[in-house]
Chain A
Amino acid sequence: MKPVKKYEDLNGLELDTIREIGSIGTGNAATALSSMLGCAVRIQMPEVRIMGYNEAIDWIGGPEIITAGVLVQMSGEVNGIMLSVQQMEFVNLVLQKMVGHTVENYEQLSDLDRSALVEVGNIMISTFINALSSLAGITTRLTVPAFAVDMQGAILTVPMVEFGGQSDYIMTIGANFICDGTAVPCRLLLSPDILSLNFLLKKLGVLDG
């Protein structure tokens, strides 16, 4: 049996393939978001990042900032965690378009507001994963979305903890969205586990070695 490649061992072709998965996934998610909000949505260049834990926290903008997070766990042929990290600007954009008002802070979120955010997150995540599944010809199951409003450091550590026994790094695949011409930071992040990532790359015929 060939050895399992860790995140940090991936070569250029493999990373490009993952970036392409990210690009197709976020492209589909952007279309879904656009039809939900009724505005033009573009995506910035999708990124694949392999980061140490503390580096990842810095990258998302510091540990203590409060954000909303929608989390879906995927299992089956590919295991992983997908997160939609929704910062205030994005929250207000969604609320404005969907329920017709905005909030000043997360404490003002009503039950209706929360379900709107969960739904937007869930639809983007599901669209992303559906695109990935049909691209690679795999089947995955998704959990019901879970929602939390808390320090973003703690939200981001959820995928780290889940795969912490395998690696000292976290891999994120994702992009920011541009809605109605303004860049709105809504990060859609997929963290696959290492075995699933190897399986996926093999399925796509690019795993080397």
Chain B
Amino acid sequence: MDNKLVVGIADMKMTRQDGMLITYALGSCIGVCLYDPTIRLAALVHIMLPLNMEAGRKSPMKYADTGISETLSQMEKQGGMRSRIVAKIAGGARMFDVGGSGSLGNIGQRNIESTHIVLRREGIRLLREDVGGSVARTLLFDAASGQACVRSYGKPELIF
């Protein structure tokens, strides 16, 4: 457990056979676990926003759309096959209940919807998810078993 690969914000890491991927404190952000079980290739992306509308597209991993498709093509370069890759996602919470109808309140929800749409468009099956609510999540993803684990404040660990 001590050699975890830490995935930062707007970041992606990949590992094969064994190893643990971890991303901390997902608020409205979403952690997307992508896994090819046959060759045990695991990738974890930490996205912040639903759609990439940046001109230069310097940081594709910040957005659900470009983050997921970029990760999938990198997985294919490592021998992953799209037809075998499955997904598990966690995050998309609403951290603060701000009055009014600002973007602040529903960015988590928009991230969830965008992630669903992108996965469907890429033909990736979504196995499990732990999304929404109002608590932050730390997401661990085990490459050997393909199991994901969510750690939150004041709640028991959730393995899925």
Contacts and interface: CB of A to CB of B under 8 A. Distances in A.
B137 to A, nearest CB: 8
Contact of B9 (A54, A107, A143): A54
Interface string B1-28: 0000000111100000000000011111
A161 B153 contact: no
Interface range on chain A (Cβ under 8 Å from partner): 20 to 34
Contacts of B136: 150-151, 153-155
Nearest to B28: A161
Nearest to B25: A153
Contact of A146 (B10, B24, B58, B97): B97
Given A63-B25, A153-B25, A157-B48, A54 B11 contact: yes
A51 to B, nearest CB: 11
B134 interface: yes
A201 B107 CA distance: 29
B10 to A, nearest CB: 6
A157 B53 CA distance: 19
Contact of B62 (A146, A149, A164): A164
Interface string A36-72: 0000000000000000011001000001101001010
Contacts of A195: none
B87 interface: no
Interface in B88-102: 93, 95-100, 102
B104 A162 contact: yes
A53 B138 contact: no
Contacts of B9: 53-54, 57, 157, 160
Interface string A140-183: 00011011111111110110111011001000000000000000
Interface of A: 53-54, 57, 63-64, 66, 69, 71, 73, 75, 81, 107, 143-144, 146-155, 157-158, 160-162, 164-165, 168
Given A151-B24, A158-B95, 20 more contacts: A53-B9, A53-B10, A54-B11, A63-B25, A64-B138, A71-B96, A107-B154, A144-B98, A147-B96, A148-B134, A150-B136, A151-B136, A152-B25, A154-B26, A154-B29, A157-B28, A160-B9, A161-B107, A164-B48, A164-B49
Interface of B: 8-11, 24-29, 48-49, 53-54, 58-59, 62, 93, 95-100, 102-104, 107, 134-136, 138, 153-154
26 contacts: A57-B8, A66-B153, A73-B102, A143-B100, A146-B99, A149-B153, A150-B95, A151-B27, A151-B153, A153-B24, A153-B136, A154-B26, A154-B29, A154-B95, A154-B136, A155-B27, A155-B95, A155-B136, A157-B28, A157-B29, A158-B27, A161-B49, A161-B107, A165-B53, A168-B58, A168-B59
Closest 9 CB pairs of A and B: A153-B25, A154-B27, A154-B136, A63-B24, A146-B96, A63-B25, A54-B8, A53-B9, A151-B25
